[in-house]
Structure 1
Amino acid sequence: MSTEITWQKSSFSEGGAQCVEVAEHSDSILLRESEEPHTITTTNRTKFAAFITGVKAGEFDRFTN
């Protein structure tokens, strides 16, 4: 039996297109781009939490310009 994955995207996405989507599956966090839904990156909660903390701290702001 397969478990359906529910993807979530940011409410800040421009019309829902061209965005990064996140889901949880078992003990993993899954990431994909909406344009490439079959290409999925997997990480764990600890690494994802560290990434989010870095985003909130502005460590990746240079990538948004």
Structure 2
Amino acid sequence: MARLREFPLERQEAETAITLRSRSSIRLGDALIAATALTHGVPLMTRNTADFQNIDGLTLINPFEGE
């Protein structure tokens, strides 16, 4: 597996999260996670793909798929 990267929560991520929450019923924590991935142009790796599948432009990776 490629090394993991950590991203700080900054203004752009917060603004994107606010936009995501205004468009759907996504929870705040999930909105911040999705906003961070979108802002940095990286895929989101999660087992919980259902909460993120309707976010335009977000690439999801489920590492447990097929188990």
TM over 0.5: no
Greater strand fraction, Structure 1 or Structure 2: 1
Q: Which one has a bigger Cα radius of gyration?
A: 1
Higher percent of residues as helix? 2
Kindly indicate whether structure 1 or structure 2 has the higher relative contact order, using CA contacts under 8 Å at least 6 residues apart: 2
